[in-house]
Amino acid sequence: MNKGIISPKIIAELTQIVGSKYIFTDDETRQKYGHDETEDYNFPPAVLIKPANTAEISAILKLANLYSIPVTPIGAQTGLSGGALSIHQGIGLAMERLNKIIEIDENNLQITVEPAVITQVLREAVAEKGLFYPPDPSSQGSCWIGGNVAENAGGARAVKYGVTKDYVLNLEVVLPSSEIIWTGANTLKNSTGYNLTQLMVGSEGTLGIITKIVLKLLPKNLHTVLMLVPFFKAYEACEAVAKIFHAGIVPSALEFMERDAIDWTLKYIDGVNVEIKDEIQAHLLIEVDGNYPEILFNEAEKISLVLEQFETDEILFADTEDQKNALWKLRRAVGEAVKSNSIYKEEDTVVPRYELPKLLAGIKAIGAKYGFKSVCYGHAGDGNLHVNIVKENMSAEAWNTEIPKGIREIFELTVSLKGTLSGEHGIGYVQKNYMDIAFSKVQMDLMRSIKNVFDPNHILNPGKIFPDVACVK
């Protein structure tokens, strides 16, 4: 039998594993599962399978490994790096049936879940018990926790609480060989051998299929103070970020939005009204949280004193839960608003927060050089800036030839500022050919060696992370 070919015999064997109800070869289903939120790419799998549990996934991988059939895990399809695209067709492994919250351990402040649990559903479930799961990507209402782990997702509250990797204690993983392992232990400390858990986090489905996830939780804070700060100069908004930390304040969120980002979002969503003077170039959305209101108000006052060093308009304090929800709705809708306004490419840069002004200035200079407009927003508190390059009136030729040059220069600038290519979106398909900017040949060879140990037949999510051309740096 030819390697990599999904023959009628293999289809029959796969059907025996999952049942005829959960295997699909029709064009409509394959097309539906052939995309995520990455631009307009569509790579349908040759066959789409919806397993029910770890045992079925193990049996599928055993068969796929035997015949060298590519397998691409497909989650909620909210990714922005093409990580869930079936570049080499093969088997699309739709994880949607593994959607159970298995246990909330209130004694040890832990939760065990399957990968298809929606992140917001998880956060709300633990909140009902007075607990808190901090990572909150903007797509939390639709993304799944398995995808968050695979991409090491962050969110607005990473600045104080960290990203997904900081909460993963243990993982059940199916290896390409079909073996099932747990990567660690359900403990807060573990210095026993290599850290396989953290190796799996952010591996983008290239090393194994995650089937169960154990996460640590925190006690829920009772109060927040939220303020929206308008700046007359965008670079000053970036400068203010580091100054707030220098003043001894660690906000629970510190978000940056350029003027266009807010204007487009206000037109895109309903129920949010913010008056903005024509001269305003950017906003910071700043939140502090805790259990004692008097302390939070004191921190808000300290932040206000810091902001007096800069040219700002009147600060908007959200006085009610409705006002807070409206401002967060505004921030979380920015990505969709940009997408609806123009053809675009989104890059996920991250630098040490003090370098944000240089990064923003450099992005604008590169845009002027190559003739494109960028709309920037992101998690300024941890130096994470989302750069949305919009097509608008650019010609197709310029879009296809000049934009890649500009993106490469943006990444070169980012790395020169001690940053890297992706803060929370992963590398996937769209960023892989820029990896030579961030990593040497030695580093890339080490990563390839790790891939070879886990997946010697290279069946898991091929066409991701590693450049098409060997790194020569």
Q: Computed from CA positions of residues 449, 451, 454, 456, in that sequence, does the dihedral angle turn out positive or negative?
A: negative
Residue 254, helix vs strand vs coil:
strand
Whether residue 302 is contained in a domain is answered as: yes
CATH label of the domain that carries residue 183:
3.30.465.10
CATH code of 20's domain? 3.30.43.10
Same domain, 117 and 57: no
Lowest mean pLDDT among 211-215, 274-278, 440-444: 274-278
Mean pLDDT in residue range 79-106:
97
The count of domains in the chain is: 4
Does residue 469 lie within any of the structural domains? no
Q: Is 253 helix (H, G, I), strand (E, B) or coil?
A: strand
User: Is pLDDT at 2 greater than 70 in this prediction?
Assistant: no
pLDDT 10s digits, 301-334: 999 999 999 999 999 999 899 999 999 999 999 9
pLDDT of 111: 98
Range of the domain at 49: 8-94
Domain boundary among 295, 318, 335: 335
**206 shares a domain with 127:** yes
Same domain for 196 and 260, yes or no, is: no
Average confidence score pLDDT of the chain: 95
| In a shared domain, residues 279 and 331 | yes
* Same domain, residue pair 227 and 259: yes
Same domain, 256 and 346: no
Q: What percent of the chain has pLDDT over 70?
A: 98
pLDDT for the residue 469: 66
Helices (H) and strands (E) in the chain, counts: 16, 18
Domain boundary among 197, 219, 241: 219
Would 295 be classed as within a structural domain?
yes
**What pLDDT band is residue 299 in, cutting at 50, 70 and 90?**
very high
8 Å CB contact between 264 and 335? no
Q: Does the predicted model carry a pTM greater than 0.85?
A: yes
Structural contact between residues 80 and 348, judged by C-beta atoms closer than 8 angstroms:
yes
Please report whether residue 453 resides in a domain: no
391 pLDDT band (50/70/90 cuts)? very high
Structural domain ending residue among the three candidates 219, 249, 276: 219
- Residue 3 is predicted with a pLDDT of 61
Q: Are residues 323 and 253 part of one domain?
A: yes
DSSP designation for 184: S
Residue 471, pLDDT score: 42
Mean pLDDT, residues 163-191 taken together: 97
Query: What region, left, alpha or beta, does residue 439 occupy, with left being phi > 0 and alpha being psi -120 to 50 degrees?
Result: beta
Residues 106 and 214 in one domain: yes
In a domain, 2, yes or no: no
- Cα-Cα-Cα-Cα dihedral sign, residues 363, 364, 370, 372: positive
